[in-house]
C-alpha cells in the first residue's frame, strides 16, 4: 500500500504528522493510464526540484466532518504529493502563515461556500503581504459559477470542481506548481541580472566621475 503522509496542523505553526495508508494499491493505481502518467510527472518534478510537490489543503469558513477533504488529501498523496492537512477551521491569516512555514508549493482551499468572496481574496492578499505571492491559491471546492470571475480577478490560480475526476484535478495542480516554479526561476534570474548590471553602472559612473574618459580610453586602446 502506498503510504500517505499528512501533516495535520494544529492552530499556529505547531503540527504533528501521522501516516495514513492508501486505500488503493500501486497495481490499482497503475491500471489507469491517467494515474500512471500523473505519477510519472510527479516523479519527474521531484527529481528536478529535489522534493515532492507539496500542497496545503486548508478549510476556512466551515468546520465539522468533511470526508471529501480527507479523500482529496489521500488521493493527492497517492499520486506522490506531500500533503499538509490543516485543522478543522483556519482564518486566512493562519492559512497563509502555515503555508509559508511549511514551504508548500500551493494552497488548496475548501469549505468556503458561504464567505468565499471575502475569505479567499484575504488569503491571497495575506500571502502577498508576507512576501510569498508565488504560492498559488486554488479553490478546491464548489463555488457559484457567477463568482468565478471575481475570484480569478482577486488572484486565484484555479477553481477545481468536485464533479471533475480527481486525477484531472491533481494534474491541474501539478501543472500550476510546475509552471510557477519555472516562472520564479526566470524572475530570480532577471532580478539577479538587473542587480549585476545596476552595480556595474554604479561603479562605472563613479569611476568616470573621478576619472573622466577612463572607459572611452579603455575602449579605444582595445583597437
pLDDT tens digits along 23-61: 555 544 544 677 889 999 999 999 999 999 999 999 887
Q: What is the pTM of this model?
A: 0.72
pLDDT > 70: percent of the chain: 65
129 pLDDT above the threshold of 70: yes
Strand 3-9 versus strand 15-21 pairing type: antiparallel
H or E element at residue 173: helix 166-210
Judging by beta carbons within 10 Å of its beta carbon (0-12, 13-18, 19+), is residue 4 exposed, middle or buried?
buried
Q: Per-residue pLDDT for 130 more than 70?
A: yes
Cell output for 42: 510527479
Per-residue pLDDT at 213 exceeds 60: no
Amino acid at each position: 500500500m502506498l503510504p500517505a503522509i499528512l501533516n495535520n496542523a494544529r492552530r499556529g505553526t505547531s503540527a504533528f504528522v501521522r501516516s495514513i495508508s492508501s486505500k488503493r494499491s500501486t497495481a490499482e493505481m497503475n491500471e489507469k493510464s491517467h494515474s500512471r502518467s500523473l505519477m510519472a510527472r510527479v516523479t519527474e518534478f521531484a527529481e528536478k526540484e529535489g522534493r515532492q510537490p507539496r500542497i496545503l489543503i486548508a478549510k476556512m469558513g466551515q468546520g465539522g466532518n468533511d470526508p471529501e477533504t480527507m479523500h482529496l488529501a489521500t488521493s493527492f498523496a497517492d499520486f506522490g504529493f506531500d500533503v499538509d492537512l490543516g485543522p478543522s477551521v483556519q482564518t486566512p491569516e493562519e492559512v497563509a502563515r502555515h503555508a509559508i512555514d511549511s514551504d508548500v508549493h500551493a494552497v488548496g482551499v475548501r469549505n468556503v461556500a458561504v464567505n468565499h468572496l471575502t475569505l479567499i481574496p484575504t488569503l491571497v492578499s495575506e500571502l502577498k503581504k508576507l512576501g510569498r505571492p508565488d504560492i498559488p491559491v486554488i479553490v478546491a471546492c464548489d463555488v457559484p459559477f457567477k463568482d468565478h470571475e471575481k475570484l480569478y480577478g482577486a488572484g486565484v490560480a484555479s477553481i477545481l470542481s468536485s464533479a471533475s475526476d480527481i486525477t484531472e484535478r491533481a494534474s491541474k495542480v501539478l501543472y500550476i506548481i510546475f509552471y510557477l516554479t519555472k516562472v520564479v526561476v526566470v524572475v530570480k534570474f532577471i532580478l539577479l541580472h538587473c542587480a549585476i548590471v545596476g552595480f556595474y553602472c554604479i561603479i562605472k559612473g563613479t569611476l568616470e566621475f573621478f576619472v573622466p574618459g577612463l572607459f572611452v580610453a579603455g575602449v579605444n586602446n582595445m583597437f
